[in-house]
Amino acid sequence: MKMVEDLKRKPLFILAVILLLSSAQAGNTNRTSWHQCADFQTANFLHGSKLNVQFLLFTSSNPSCGELILADDGIEDTSFNSSLETKIIIHGFRALGTKPSWIEGLVRAILHTSHVNVIAVDWVHGSTGAYHSAVDNVTQLALSISHFISKLLALGVSGTSIHIIGVSLGAHVAGLVGHFHGGQLGRITGLDPAGPKYTRASLEERLDPGDALFVEAIHTDADNFGIRIPVGHIDYFVNGGKDQPGCPRFISAGLLEQAGVSMRRLPKEVIVYLMTSPSAPFCVHHSLVEFRLQKKRNVVTSIEITFYSNSTKDTAKITIPQQEEVGKRLLAHKVPLCEINIVMLKYLPNNRFWRKDESHIVGKFCAAPLPLNKNRTMFCLPWNITLYGNMDLSYQLSAACA
Ligand SMILES: *[C@@H]1O[C@H](CO)[C@@H](O)[C@H](O)[C@H]1NC(C)=O
Ligand SMILES: *[C@@H]1O[C@H](CO)[C@@H](O)[C@H](O)[C@H]1NC(C)=O
Ligand SMILES: *[C@@H]1O[C@H](CO)[C@@H](O)[C@H](O)[C@H]1NC(C)=O
Ligand SMILES: *[C@@H]1O[C@H](CO)[C@@H](O)[C@H](O)[C@H]1NC(C)=O
Ligand SMILES: *[C@@H]1O[C@H](CO)[C@@H](O)[C@H](O)[C@H]1NC(C)=O
Ligand SMILES: *[C@@H]1O[C@H](CO)[C@@H](O)[C@H](O)[C@H]1NC(C)=O
C-alpha cells in the first residue's frame, strides 16, 4: 500500500495536544503552597555542557506546578503516589536550549484524563547545541533515567505501571531506558521518533519492540526529521487528513488508554496507517482481533484474518509466539465493524523443508472494535474452530451497530 509518502503531515504536537485537550480546563488554582513550583531550566548553548537532568513531578492535585524530585533525596517526601501509574515524558533535541513549549499542555492533558503521576524529564542542558552532541549525551541521560526508575521500583512501583512517552530524540532515549530494564517496563510511546543517526542504528541504540511490553510509535514527520521505519509493536503513520465525523478519535484513546491491548509481549512490528486514503472523507476503523489456541504449540502460529463487508475486504495476520496461547493484532478496516458480515480465517502452516507443521489447529477467535467500550465487549465465534492448513474458513460475523 502506498499512502503516506506524498501527503502533508501536521506537526505532531498539534495532534497530540489538541486531541487530548478536547475539553481543556483552566485548572490554575494553587491549592498547595507548601512548596515552590519547579520549572525547566534554560540552557545557553555556549556553556550548556552539563547534563543537569531534572525530574519534575506533576499530579492531578496540582497539574500546573512541578515538584522537583532530587536525585538523591527521598521520593517519599513528594506527592508521588506509588500506587498510581507513572508517565514519564522525555523531550528531544532543543537547538536553543529552551523548555519545550508543548510540555505543559501535554502534562495537563494527561492529568485531565487520568489519575497518574507525571514526571517530565528536563535534560535541556544536554539537548542543546548541535544535534550530534545531543545524540552523544543520550546514553548518559538514559542511565540517569534508568537509575531514577530503579528508585521508583524500589518503592514498590510495578514496572508494568510505567509508561514512557518520548518525543523525537527522546523516543530513542525511552528505548534505551527500556532496554536497560530488560524490556519489562509497561509501555513506551514514541512520538515522531527521530530519524537522523537512527534509521540505520542497531536495535540496542534505537527504539524497538523489545524495549517494553508494549511499544507504539506515532509518526507524523517521516519525510523530514522523523524515522521512516517501524519501531514499535504498533506504528501509526498519521497523514494530514482531517477528523471525519464518525471516525473514532483513535489517537487520544491509543495514547492514553491501553487500547485493550494487554501487557504481554506482542508480535513485532504492526504498522497502522490512520486515514490512509488521500481522497477524503475516508477513514479507517480498527479492531482488535484475537485467536486463542486450545493448546500451546512449539512453533510460531500464523493465522490470516480477512474481514469482508458488502464492498470491502481487509486482511491482517495474527502471529502467536511459540509456547503462547493467544495472538492479538490490530486490523484496520474501511467500514465499521458492524458492517463486516463475513470473517474468513486461514491457518498458514509453517512448513519447512525438513519438518512439516501440524495439519490443523483448534482455537477460538474473537474481535472487538477499538477503542474498546467500557464493557470490553468482544464478538467471538463459538469455541473450538478447527482450521486446516491453507484452507479458508468463513463465518458470519454479526456485530450490532450501536
Ligand atoms: C497562587 O500563586 C501565585 C503565584 O505564586 C500567588 O501570587 C497567588 O497569591 C496564589 N494564589 C492563591 C489563592 O494562593
Ligand atoms: C494514592 O492513590 C490511591 C489510588 O487512587 C489512593 O487510594 C490513595 O489515597 C493515594 N494516596 C495518597 C497518599 O494520596
Ligand atoms: C554532551 O555532549 C557534548 C558533545 O559531545 C559534550 O561536549 C558534553 O560534555 C556532553 N555532556 C555531558 C554532560 O556529558
Ligand atoms: C449488504 O448487502 C445485503 C444484501 O444485499 C443488504 O441486505 C445489506 O443491507 C447490505 N449492508 C450494507 C451495510 O450495505
Ligand atoms: C454493557 O453491558 C450492559 C449489561 O450487559 C448492557 O446493558 C449495556 O448496553 C452494555 N453497553 C455497551 C456500550 O455495550
Ligand atoms: C472445546 O475444547 C475445550 C478444551 O479442550 C473443551 O473443554 C470443550 O468441551 C470444547 N468445546 C466444545 C464446544 O467442543
Nearest protein CA to atom 1 of ligand 3, as residue? 137
The partner residues of 66 in beta bridges, in order of sequence, read 38
Angle at 61 between CA 58 and CA 65, to 5 degrees: 45
d(CA 20, CA 56): 21
Nearest protein CA to atom 7 of ligand 2, as residue? 83
- Domain locations along the chain: 4-274, 285-396
Measured in Å, residue 84 CA sits from the centre of ligand 3 at 35
The partner residues of 287 in beta bridges, in order of sequence, read 331, 369
* Cβ neighbours around 132 below 10 Å, total: 10
Measured in Å, residue 385 CA sits from the centre of ligand 6 at 10
| Ligand 4 near 336 CB (within 6 A) | no
Relative to beta strand 379-380, strand 360-369 is antiparallel
Measured CA to CA in angstroms, residue 252 lies from 19, 39, 63, 353 at distances of 6, 26, 19, 46
CATH superfamily of 285-396: PLAT/LH2 domain (2.60.60.20)
| Ligand 4 near 39 CB (within 6 A) | no
Q: What is the DSSP string of 281-300?
A: S---EEEEEEEEESS--SS-
User: Which residues lie below 8 Å from residue 298, measured CB to CB, with a gap of 6+?
Assistant: 322, 323
* E strands in 297-401: 301-308, 313-320, 326-333, 342-348, 360-369, 379-380, 385-388, 392-396
Q: What does the pLDDT profile of the chain (402 residues) look like in tens digits?
A: 333 332 233 344 333 333 333 223 333 343 444 457 888 888 765 554 568 889 999 999 989 899 998 766 678 888 999 999 999 999 988 877 788 888 898 999 899 888 999 999 998 888 877 777 788 888 889 999 999 999 999 889 999 899 999 998 899 899 999 999 988 898 899 888 877 767 666 666 788 878 888 888 877 654 445 565 556 666 666 543 333 333 444 443 373 333 333 333 333 344 444 433 333 334 567 787 889 999 999 888 999 999 999 888 999 889 888 888 888 877 878 888 888 889 999 999 987 777 788 889 999 998 887 655 555 567 888 778 999 988 898 888 776 665
Confidence at residue 135, expressed as pLDDT on a 0 to 100 scale: 83
Residue whose CB lies within 8 A of the most ligand 4 atoms, among 308, 310, 334, 339, for a mutation test: 310
Confidence at residue 152, expressed as pLDDT on a 0 to 100 scale: 92
- Grid coordinates of 63: 497539574
CA of 115, closest atom in ligand 2: 5
Measured CA to CA in angstroms, residue 287 lies from 250, 253, 307, 337 at distances of 11, 13, 10, 7
Measured in Å, residue 31 CA sits from the centre of ligand 1 at 9
Measured in Å, residue 286 CA sits from the centre of ligand 4 at 21
d(CA 190, CA 169): 9
User: Which residues lie below 8 Å from residue 263, measured CB to CB, with a gap of 6+?
Assistant: 160, 186, 187, 213, 214
The partner residues of 315 in beta bridges, in order of sequence, read 306
Which DSSP helix (H) or strand (E) runs through 90? strand 86-90
Architecture of domain 4-274: 3-Layer(aba) Sandwich (3.40)
Residue whose CB lies within 8 A of the most ligand 5 atoms, among 337, 374, 375, for a mutation test: 375
Q: Is 252 helix (H, G, I), strand (E, B) or coil?
A: helix
- Grid coordinates of 234: 504498533
